Amino acid sequence: MARQFDVPVFYRSPIIATVKDARRITDPRKRDLTPSVLDFGPVRFKIGRHFGFCYGVENAIDIAYRALEEHPEKAAAGRIFLLSEMIHNPHVNEDLQARGIRFLRTTTGEQLIPFDALKPDDVVVIPAFGTTREIEADLRERGLEPHTYNTTCPFVEKVWKKSAQIGKQAYTVVVHGKRYHEETRATFSHAQAHAPVVVVRDMEATEALAKVICGEEDAAFFFEHFADRYSPGFDPARDLQRIGVVNQTTMLASETAAIAERLRQAMLRCFPDDPVADHFADTSDTLCYATKENQDATIALIEDGADLALVVGGYNSSNTSHLVDLCEEAIPTYFISGADRLISPDEIHHFVWRTKTETETHGWLPQDLNRPIDILLTAGASCPDALLDEVVQHILAWFPAVRSVDEALAPFQAVDPA
């Protein structure tokens, strides 16, 4: 039986939860990616088969709120700390702060509270992205045990274990990720304890690495193109003979697979007389299933068609930005943090993830279509379902004659649990 997490009730939702529960009953093996449709008459919401809180996020929330519950006196005194944002969602992090948790660092690593201010009886919570071995050692030297409330996602830890495994077999670890994202910083630290490490951000960087592997470019080219992205003492001539690819779990799974295949092909071409396993480790089992499910469900949403897409999540959420990227290729897409960004039927404030700026767009909601408006609605893995409920209710208020929520949910409520 799947593990059940204690997620605070205010993160749950009467609308989205009903849809998700019905889909779990009718499609327990998660094979049907057909969108769910909430039909309110003049507006219809197409909901992805998979979105919102994943296993790792629910695990993290369960642990963080348990720390608050078990140490109310420390929370009141401001002596419960998170190394940084637990997950990349402002609503969750703001609620934790309101309950007494303080952040030691920003998501990019700037110190907010000096570690010297910590006391041995303080509580320090590790975020879902994990942390570096160096920070763990620092905390232990101060008399703190970082694993007491460790919310590191099990799938991130799986990447670390695979990195250690292939490192012990003399493979170099190639990390597909954003070098200074919290998770990649943590994975880099754990991997380099067992192997040389290099980070590739995208296919362009992968092509550059393939040229070095095959001797088409030299060490100087490597050090120039991969500055700050390789472990100390990295020797391209030695350390690119045997490699394995792992990823930052929030990256596009399809991109990770493409990068791994490109490097596997490079090994086949550059070492044609050797078995490919002598030079390339199979690490496909490290891909996060939740990230892939959300991305596959979003692709199915796009294929089903809509007039526009609303993607809800934290603006610094990597996995959410990849869902936005997928949608943007097909339909007008708006990345919002919550219902408060829906200013009016004419005006929306939304995030442009490529430039990392919020902008406003007018005329975003189609008018006079002479048919119902179809809105694709999905969310990142760190987004509470309750925020999607608020988006739905906010938009419905703009339409004078819509079906009630009970009417729209009737097809889902009629599902027989047996």
| Strand extents, DSSP E, 3-42 | 36-39
HSE-up of residue 307 (Cα within 13 Å, Cβ side): 17
| Radius of gyration, CA atoms only, the chain | 23
3-state helix, strand, coil in the chain (%, to 5): 45, 15, 40
Residue 195 to residue 193: CA distance in whole angstroms: 6
**Which helix (H) or strand (E) segment is 204 a member of?**
helix 203-213
183 is catalytic: yes
What counts of helices (H) and strands (E) characterise the chain?
A: 15, 15
Written as six digits, the tokens of 87 are 């997950």
**Which helix (H) or strand (E) segment is 253 a member of?**
helix 253-270
Residue 22 to residue 140: CA distance in whole angstroms: 46
Q: CB within 8 A of 318, min separation 6: which ones?
A: 88, 178, 181, 248, 250, 251
- From 53, 50, 17, select the one nearest 35 (Cα to Cα): 50
Calculate the alpha carbon distances from 57 to 89, 183, 201 in Å: 11, 14, 24
Q: CB within 8 A of 225, min separation 6: which ones?
A: 205, 208
DSSP, res 192: T
Residue 44 to residue 51: CA distance in whole angstroms: 18
Q: b/e map of 266-277 (b: 16 or more CB within 10 Å)?
A: bbeebbeeeeee
Q: Which of 85, 182, 183, 255 is catalytic?
A: 183
Residue 62 to residue 301: CA distance in whole angstroms: 30
3-state secondary structure of 129: coil
Catalytic positions, please?
183
